[in-house]
Structure 1
Amino acid sequence: MTKNSISNLREKMKELDINKSEPYTNKHIKNKLRERYEDNICISECDGYNDLVTMREKTSTILRSYFQRKDGNDDFQKWAIIETAAMLIKSEIKTCTSCVTDTNPSTTELLGDAPYKFLPESLWLFLDLIIVGDKNHTKVSSIGQALIQATRPRMVLVPLQVGLGVQLYHLFRSEFLLSTLATMGFCVSYKEVKRFKKNAASFVSQNFLDDILDKNERLIMFAGDNVDHNLVTLDGHGTFHGMGIIAATTPGVKLNSEVKRCKVTDLDILNKSRIPIVNYRPSSQAHKEILFEDVPKFPGIIVKNIDVLWELSLNLTKPTPNWQKLMHTLHSGSNYPGKSTVTFLPMIDMYSGDRSCILSTFTFTSTFVP
């Protein structure tokens, strides 16, 4: 249990009570602390974790302490100025940076000027004066976020360190590398990266349902194909043959990229990403009548002649247009639906040619049809 957590404070109250009565609840303690200290206290709340409490120092208090010890020789004044500046920056870090929530940093916090704007004003001004170079924003952002993470290790989860940890794990799969960099303060721990990946795997199907299926007037096309991994191994074990499924949505939608940050077990991931297996029984389905709707007719140009037109254009025009250029020319001025969105769905751990696997794929995708 963390020393500066609400639960720890409640246990201390229980120990100091002579009558050994039941102390306040955690919620009531937090309300009392906010009522007493107002803006001077910061409580970090996160689902599944202990609520953490830290105190903030106001700028006026820090400057008053500096002027009280201002007198002295030059070395003493120099150290007093440095210590006061450090306390001012630390106070602004505690005040401006948002605490850890139940959601991991999003990808938008890693792009453009977002990492630079994540820093408090005093911190980026301090680092901008020290670090030299034409393109020092990247260095200022990374070093500044590392300082924020080191200042508040249990209260803040900075975006750049999460992104770096996930990227390194994706490329090298090395626990030693992540643990070494985390010890040096350059990225999040290996445990935090594993938690991120479990949450990402757990919520992919739910995000698909929330972001795509609830939208009207969209065409969803499903595609399934074999997925093979480690086809040839020395002992013949560790191979994977399965069915991979994707969903292409037209026009495209902006997917919810928020990845929750909570405790997820392997069983939770399995239950949320499992596709029900339907056993294929020919005798029970041989005489069933299957009806298909009519294929929609495309207005305007005849689709089957597009290939012939493109083949003729290879000999008549220079430079030769590719297929993409041809489609742009044919549909110029028309109502273009926009770029499609491709979503990866859970895999089926079965041989893709197995009839039960094929039937399970069709049954799973048919559940999304309104």
Structure 2
Amino acid sequence: MKCKLKEHYGSSIVITEINGKPNVVTFQQNASTILHSFYKESAAQKSEEENKNALLKAAAALIKNDIRSMPINKQFYPSTDAILSAGDSVPKNDPLDQSHSLQFVADNVDHNIDTIDGNNTFHGMGIISCTTPGVIKSPKEIPRVELTTDELVSAGHINVFHYNSDQVGNSFTSLRFQKVQELRKINTTWKLDILMKVLWPLKSPMPGWSGLMQMVCSGNNPGLSNVTFLPMIDLNPSDMSCVYSTLKFVSKEASYHNRTPVITFDQPLYWKALMITCGEECKNVVVRLGGFHTEMSFLGSKGRLMSGSGLKEVLELVYAPNAVNHMLSGKAVSRCVRGFMLVDIALHWLITEELFRINKTNEEAELTDIPLSNSILSEAGQLLDKLLNKQIPIETAVDHDALKAIEKELESKKKHLKESRTSSLWLSFCEMVAILKRFPLAERTGDWERHLASIQEMLQYLAAAGHNLYT
């Protein structure tokens, strides 16, 4: 190879040979220029740090020269195999098959908002599509195409439609609460929560609800989703024409993939989208309220319904008063969820003490020192240990006789306690906490039936608290 290079290039190339290292080939003109510059700089008296910088600059110039001499293809971009780090960013425009679900999410987007004078800012509607499971993108070459500005704009263009309620039609003229169909509850893993609430004070250490579900739940999942950024709409997101244009665009995109258009908004945009879809136009679009906003409203409704009951004073034993105000309004979501769960466990422990006659002979003794003398509790404790050690599956645990017996005893005791109005109020609080746990369970596991059932269970509390925009 060396002889062939010298025969072809002659004295135009320089081959540097060092024992034990690969040979370096470069053109004499480039090497002479770089080395001459390096020698000229090194001849001057410089500090050690300056000599290091000069050496690095000379090495960088040689590397840059090698990069420029590499062959390139000016007709096609590199394939995803050649650029592994950019493989996931190559879009795939083929229609999805039936094994993938497709949803859209739209919300307001702001860009360059921190300007001094407030000019040159952008406030519009941003849209993304979520594909589950994520599409495996096949490597392919993308041709380098010279596009004009008009062609580039048309590729990412969304048609804007003017919304006219008289022409489009709007049947959303009155708010009516209709009787909804009872949904079948398929997922029963939430029953494991009974084990935790009854045994939590008696077993230490004991994982919380989230930790328990992560420890015992297992199985296949659809995998990671792909998120694709779609074009933005340069209109005020609160404008009805902007929402209407978003629904039309989503409907067109979903029809290309042969899917029912499903889009998620936050509460203000959800309400306007619902008004549009109640008419003749876009009635095929399924509009969903974001799960986080639904949970916030449900937490706020619980705080409103429990006002004056003593819940605020109980939470202030753990949290600061200002934090409790935000919790009861549904703003501090994580604190509110944890605080409500702690109160729920305390209430169930009071019921468990009376139901199974658990008495502490020594007031200074820890709860975990109390023996499980009751046969049902003892059997339930063994069931929980086997479940946490993955000795039995969840399906066996939810159908266990001990769990059924505890559930039956609790239901009987709660039925008796509901004769008191105060007890009935706090039992309603416990039921709302149970719904609060079932809702994220459905969201995280992708259980659509459980999601609908949880929303259905929330409706009565949202309506009672006056949160009509969420019903």
- TM-score over 0.5 for the alignment? no
TM normalised by structure 2 equals 0.34
